[in-house]
């Protein structure tokens, strides 16, 4: 077990660098008025940054200092054309004068949303587009590029999809610590916590952090991109990384349940239920959500709270990503 203060100290150290401004990793919580209840809350990680989606900012907060320590000059970033991590990395790497070379699935038929915003950062000829038929060889192609750059004496590394990398762990762990701060400030202790998972890095770190603190909360994880099996193997990996980072052994995990989204199950897919939920969340909660992550989290959380008649204090993590919404504004549901 680790004490909260000690965990906080280790995270702060790993998210610190001589040559960079630290990222701001504190976000507020507030109540939602769902189901005439006053014990359902949302954590506004979406407010951590205008352009970098919230949980990505946490991961990059430790990725960047780790790159700087290793003297990395260039990073190959792999992802989809609409990836929040790719768009986030374009911002955090450029801010810190590290060259980014994107290896992206595509090109997509039309540039909208994140894919269009990306053209603010890169000329077309700077993007390595990998067609879907060759996507499985993307890592080989990226590694070949990296080898060539290394032979020219360039200090370069690869950032995997979604930033699921050991160097992202300390930043990802900051979410657990920040929830403890929210609890102390509000006097509310959360019994249930809902979070979405793409690569699962942030949710896995949350579980590992809770385990290290021996914190008893029930975690509800909406698995959006991968399978439960992938999530569990990622979890085993993150637990090992956490044990190494904190010099402790994790024997038991807190209660956690995995869900697939209640609608539009395949990653990135949308439908009118999703768009209606985005509109509902805007009108009733006053919150912008995105079609890929947060709206699916909100929908699945509402359904789960009702079906399982969950009692006690509930917290939803709004992980951000609203910029992606800009690509969907022509949907007829938004016009009516
Ligand atoms: C990337 C992302 C996630 C998922 O984070 P993982 O660590 O990959 O699971 C969730 N929500 C938003 C808005 C994101 O951009």
Rounded CA separation 46/58 (Å): 11
Rounded CA separation 35/308 (Å): 14
- pLDDT higher than threshold 80 for residue 20: no
Q: Could you tell me if 153 and 20 lie in one domain?
A: no
**The pLDDT of residue 7:** 97
Q: Could you tell me if 250 and 117 lie in one domain?
A: no
- pLDDT higher than threshold 90 for residue 336: no
Rounded CA separation 245/50 (Å): 30
Domain stops at, among 163, 187, 218: 163
- Read off the pLDDT of residues 68-124 as tens digits, 9 standing for 90 and up: 999 999 999 999 999 999 999 999 999 999 999 999 999 999 999 999 999 999 999
Q: Could you tell me if 278 and 198 lie in one domain?
A: yes
Q: Could you tell me if 213 and 304 lie in one domain?
A: yes
Q: Could you tell me if 10 and 63 lie in one domain?
A: no
- Read off the pLDDT of residues 34-66 as tens digits, 9 standing for 90 and up: 999 999 999 999 999 999 989 999 999 999 999
Q: What is the mean pLDDT of residues 317-326?
A: 94
**The pLDDT of residue 191:** 98
Report helix, strand or coil for 59: helix
CA distances from 59 to 157, 167, 170, 252, 311 (A): 16, 8, 8, 24, 31
- 208 CB burial (10 A radius; 0-12, 13-18, 19+): buried
DSSP element (H, E) containing 285: none
| Mean pLDDT value across the chain | 96
The structure's pTM equals 0.97
Q: Could you tell me if 47 and 63 lie in one domain?
A: no
**The pLDDT of residue 21:** 80
CATH of the domain at 211: 3.40.50.1100
Angle between the 228-246 and 169-186 helix axes, to the nearest 10 degrees?
90
- What's 283's DSSP letter? I
Q: Could you tell me if 221 and 238 lie in one domain?
A: yes
Distance of CA 84 from the midpoint of ligand 1 (Å): 8
Q: Could you tell me if 300 and 156 lie in one domain?
A: no
Domain stops at, among 114, 141, 163: 163
Does ligand 1 come within 6 angstroms of the Cβ of 170?
no
- Count of C-beta atoms within a 10 Å radius of residue 328: 18
Q: For residue 123, give its domain range.
A: 58-163
Integer-rounded Cα radius of gyration of the chain: 20
Q: Could you tell me if 265 and 201 lie in one domain?
A: yes
Does ligand 1 come within 6 angstroms of the Cβ of 234?
no
Q: Could you tell me if 14 and 115 lie in one domain?
A: no
Among 321, 325, 327, the mutation site with the greatest number of ligand 1 atoms within 8 A of its Cβ is 321
Domain stops at, among 117, 148, 163: 163
Rounded CA separation 278/271 (Å): 11
Q: What is the mean pLDDT of residues 155-169?
A: 96
Q: Could you tell me if 199 and 327 lie in one domain?
A: yes
Q: Could you tell me if 150 and 232 lie in one domain?
A: no
Count how many domains the chain has.
2
Does ligand 1 come within 6 angstroms of the Cβ of 163?
no
Q: Alpha helices of the chain — where are they, by DSSP H?
A: 4-14, 54-69, 84-95, 113-118, 138-151, 169-186, 201-212, 228-246, 272-280, 294-307, 332-335
Task: With beta carbons less than 8 A apart as the criterion, state whether 145 and 76 touch.
Answer: yes
The rounded percent of the chain whose pLDDT value lies above 90 is 94
């Amino acid at each position: 077990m680790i004490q909260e203060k000690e965990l906080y100290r280790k995270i702060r150290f790993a998210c610190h660098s001589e040559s960079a401004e630290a990222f701001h990793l504190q976000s507020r919580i507030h109540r939602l008025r769902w189901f005439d209840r006053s014990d359902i809350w949302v954590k506004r990680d979406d407010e951590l940054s205008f352009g970098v989606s919230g949980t990505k900012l946490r991961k990059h907060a430790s990725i960047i200092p780790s790159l700087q320590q290793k003297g990395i000059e260039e990073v190959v970033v792999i992802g989809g054309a609409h990836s929040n991590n790719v768009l986030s990395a374009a911002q955090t790497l450029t801010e810190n004068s590290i060259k980014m070379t994107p290896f992206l699935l595509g090109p997509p038929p039309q540039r909208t949303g994140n894919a269009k915003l990306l053209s603010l950062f890169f000329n077309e000829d700077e993007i390595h587009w990998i067609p879907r038929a060759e996507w499985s060889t993307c890592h080989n192609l990226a590694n070949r590029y990296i080898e060539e750059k290394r032979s020219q004496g360039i200090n370069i590394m690869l950032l995997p999809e979604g930033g699921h990398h050991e160097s992202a762990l300390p930043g990802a762990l900051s979410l657990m610590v920040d929830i403890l701060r929210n609890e102390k400030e509000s006097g509310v202790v959360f019994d249930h916590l809902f979070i979405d998972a793409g690569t699962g890095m942030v949710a896995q770190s949350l579980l590992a952090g809770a385990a290290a603190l021996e914190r008893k909360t029930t975690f509800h994880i909406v698995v959006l991109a991968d399978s439960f099996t992938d999530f569990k193997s990622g979890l085993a990996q993150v637990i090992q990384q956490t044990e190494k980072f904190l010099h402790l052994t994790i024997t038991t995990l807190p209660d956690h349940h995995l869900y697939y989204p209640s609608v539009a199950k395949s990653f990135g897919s949308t439908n009118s239920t999703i768009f209606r939920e985005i509109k509902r969340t805007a009108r009733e909660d006053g919150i912008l959500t995105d079609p890929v992550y947060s709206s699916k989290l909100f929908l699945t959380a509402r359904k789960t709270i009702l079906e399982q008649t969950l009692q006690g204090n509930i917290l939803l993590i709004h992980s951000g990503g609203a910029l992606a919404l800009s690509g969907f504004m022509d949907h007829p549901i938004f016009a009516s």
